[in-house]
Structure formats: C-alpha cells, structure tokens
Amino acid sequence: MKKIFKYIEQHGMIKAHDKVIVGVSGGADSVCLLFILMKYQELLDFSIMAVHVEHGIRGRASVDDARFAEELCAKWKIPFQLCTFDIPALARKQKLSIEEAGRKARRQSFEEACQEFGGNKIAVAHHAGDQAETVLWNLVRGSGLRGLCGMWPVQGRIIRPLLGVSRSEIERILETEHLAYRTDETNLQDIYTRNKLRRHIIPYMEQELNERTSEHIVQLSLRLQKAESYLEAEGDRRAKELGNFRNGRVELLRTAFMQQEDIMQDYIIRSCLSYLGGGLKDISAQHIESVKRLASRQSGKRLDLPGMINARNQNEIMILSISDNPDAGFKYPEKVKLSIPGITFFHGWKVQAEIEIYKNQIIPKNKYTKWFDYDKIKDTIQLRGRSPGDYFTINEAGGHKKLKNYFIDEKAAKEERDRVLLLAEGSHVLWAVGYRISEAYKITKDTKKILKIQITEVSNGRENSRIIVGGGS
C-alpha cells in the first residue's frame, strides 16, 4: 500500500479537496483501487464517488456484479452510481467492436459523473500487467513511439494509481485485507485480443524467455514516456518558432520546416494539429508523412485530413486550418491611413514607416521590410484588404495586372485572398504583403527619398516578424 501511495504522490495524482470518480467493476483490480483510495483518505482530505457500468453483455452475472459493487460501496459508505448500457446494440449501431463500444460507454459514464458530482479526477484500475499488454498490443498493431509508451500514469483528468504494481501484488493486498471480489469469466476466454496476450503470449515469454518480461516492458514504457515528453515539448517549441498560431489556424514557414530533422518535423506537425483542436486520434503516421510531402510541393497544393483539417501551400508558408472554421470568411472590416513617419496598428499588424534620404546605398532584400520611392507617392497610403479594381504595375513600361488575376496566377487559395494585407494608394497596390510590390514604386537612380516600411505581427502583445513572408519585388 505504501508503494502505491508513493506512486500517487510521485505523479501528483490526487491533491487536497479533489473529487475523484472511481471506476468500480467489482473485479479484483477495481476493488483494490477503491480500497486503496479509501485508505489514502486517512492521509489526505479528498472525496470519492464510485461508478459502475453494467454492459448488458453477461446476463445475470453482469447484474450480480452491479449489485456486488453497490453493496460494497454501501458497506464502505462511498457514494455509488450505476450506469446501464446495452453494449452489443451500441456496438452494432455505431459500427464498433464490443471492446471499443464498452470503452466509449465507460468514458461517457465517468464524464457524466464528473459533471454531476463536480469531479476533477477519474481513477481507473489499470496495473503493470495491463501496461505490458498495451505496449505489446500497440507494437503488434504497428504503433509509433507514442503507442509504445503505453498508458500514462496521469492523462488529462484520468489517473492510474495501480500502474506501478503487478497483478500478484494486487492479489496480495486483497488476500491480506480479506477483500472479496467478482471474477468476469470472459477474462478467462480467448474472445478478445488482450485476453490472448494475457493468457498465452506474456506467460510464454515469462516462462520460456525471461520471468521478468512484464516488468521489463513496463520499464521500457517509462523510458519511452520520458523521451516522448521531451520530443513533444521540443516540437511545441519549434512549432512556435516556425509558425504563427492564431484564429484557429497555423501558418508554418515551409523552407525552415523542411530544414528540421525528420523526427522533429513529425512532432512539429503534431503540435500544429493539436492546436487546431481536431485531436490526433484519427491522425496516422501516413497522414503526418503526407503533410511533410506537401510542404515540399508547389504553392496552391492542398491536402485534406481527418477532423475537418486541411493543409495547403501558399507561397512560402503552409497553412493548416479547420475546413469549417468560421474565420475562413475573414475580411478586413475597414481601412486606415498609414502614419508616415510613425507606427500604425491594424488588426494585429504593426506597420512601421520611416523616411530616409537615398544616397545610392544598396537596398537589401528582406522578407519583412520593403523600400519604396517616396517621391512617387502622391496620395494617402491605406492599410486594407482587397477591393474590386485593385491592380499592380508589373513592368517598367507601366503595364497593369489586376490583383484578382495576379492571385489566380499565383494559385492563392480563394479563402486566403481576403486575408492578405494590402498597402495601397487608391486602387494601386504598393505591396501585397506576402506576395510582391508594384514596379511603379521601386527605387531608381533618380530616387531622392526612400519610404521604408517594416511589418510585423503583434500576437498576444508580442511582436512576431517570422510569419511575414515577402514575395518577389
């Protein structure tokens, strides 16, 4: 018991005044878990509520399990809630396996109990043997590093206090404390894959290869969890360096992304997808590889992913977003005058304008700063979105091209065109930020004064110039 208490404390599973929902099937593991938490209450002030899910699978035996769990909780004066499901019918309706439908019903019951009871933790009775089965099963299925980590001691509000002890240790506690429990006969049958691993594969490995097989698999999962935590944190850090996260979308610098190590590309993409809220449950390794390949393809290419997520290339950035994102129809609601010289803030953009004397200095190429011939500007420069009639001057002879046609030639996605920030004099576009500037305002040997414009984005009060992508000049 002290070993389990130490494990709970090591992983910060339970704090004072927590309200813990405990999954109690009536089997050996869950009875042990409930008893352990009841004893732990003698050391820490927190509350417990037990939830039993009756699956409607095993007839009378299933009903007896529910009655046993209810009577046990009444004896120990622990609040109890019974949830009844017809799992076979649920599995047929939702086209799930019996195992998956059962897991879904349990998750639903625990979450509903949290809402009713005000619970902030959900305790389940997985132990080290279950961990070994999980890792082996994920290995057989072809899982990546995340799958080989197995179950985590703390995962959101789910806690697993028994994950550090074996089934034999649980049985010793039950025997010592004279605790009765129910046995689910389906656990003794080979109808589920996990049962085959538990009853045949792992015992064979322990008898014929190494008696500490399960222990070593669990130790491996712990080491892999440390590695996974580090890689996830590093992936998050690099994603923030290379991308702009806002309004339910991510804009990722493609060239810089492709320069990352292959494994870090995986974690950067995972970080971006997690931010979008679609979750990673349905995202496979093949999906991640597809996004990586997309990054190296030409502008305009796109890819649809599970969870209503799409990825598309736009010049030097790759955009990941939710397809039904209401922000997809974004438009700048007004236009403002650019302060020259000075700083103008406009819908998250910071635009700094300076006037310099031209002394035939070399004008550097910069993605985030552009230089214009100030003497050629005759009217007010406005910051705005696109409007009908907008155009560029595209050559020294004064040839024009409509902004709309330019976007079509550049294969800019339709939903992106209204997002492009424009600096314009009337209908004449000086600079479509992220694309190009107009030939009419370029610096020549006759230029006397230069208008220098630097654009950064202000995100949560912090400037981030990395997301500005300069086009050709």
**pLDDT score of 325 more than 60:** no
Query: Could you tell me which of 410, 406, 432 has the C-alpha nearest to residue 298?
Result: 410
Cis peptide bond upstream of 341, omega within 30:
yes
Q: What are the pLDDT digits (tens) for 303-315? A: 888 877 888 888 8
Query: Which pLDDT value is given to residue 326?
Result: 44
Query: Which pLDDT value is given to residue 269?
Result: 93
* Distance set, CA 23 to CA 56, 70, 124, 325 (Å): 17, 12, 5, 37
Q: What are the pLDDT digits (tens) for 142-151? A: 778 888 999 9
The gap between the terminal CA atoms of the chain, to the nearest Å, is 71
**Can you tell me the mean pLDDT for 216-239?**
93
Query: 169: helix, coil or strand?
Result: helix
**pLDDT score of 188 more than 60:** no
Tell me the pTM: 0.64
**pLDDT score of 332 more than 50:** yes
Q: Which of 53-57, 116-120, 154-158 has the lowest mean pLDDT?
A: 53-57
Cα Rg of the chain, angstroms: 31
Q: What are the pLDDT digits (tens) for 345-392? A: 888 788 999 999 988 877 777 766 899 999 999 888 999 999 999 999
Report the C-alpha gap between 365 and 353 in whole angstroms. Answer: 17
Q: What are the pLDDT digits (tens) for 1-25? A: 999 999 999 999 999 999 999 999 9
pLDDT confidence bin for 461, thresholds 50/70/90:
very low
**pLDDT score of 460 more than 50:** no
Report the C-alpha gap between 199 and 186 in whole angstroms. Answer: 12
Residue 121 contacts residue 18 (beta carbons within 8 Å): yes
Query: Which pLDDT value is given to residue 472?
Result: 34
Q: Could you tell me what percentage of the chain is helix, strand and coil, using 3-state DSSP and rounding each to the nearest 5?
A: 40, 20, 35
Query: Which pLDDT value is given to residue 281?
Result: 66
**pLDDT score of 61 more than 60:** yes
Query: Which pLDDT value is given to residue 324?
Result: 52
Angle in degrees, CA 201, 204, 208, rounded to 5:
145
Query: Which pLDDT value is given to residue 465?
Result: 38
Q: What are the pLDDT digits (tens) for 255-281? A: 999 999 999 999 999 999 888 875 666
Average pLDDT, the chain: 86
**pLDDT score of 282 more than 80:** no
Q: Please, what are the domains in the chain? A: 2-224 (3.40.50.620), 247-328 (3.30.465.60), 336-467 (no CATH)
**pLDDT score of 78 more than 80:** yes
Residues near 203 by beta carbon (within 8 Å), at least 6 away in sequence: none
Q: What are the pLDDT digits (tens) for 432-456? A: 988 889 999 999 888 999 999 998 8
Query: Which pLDDT value is given to residue 302?
Result: 83
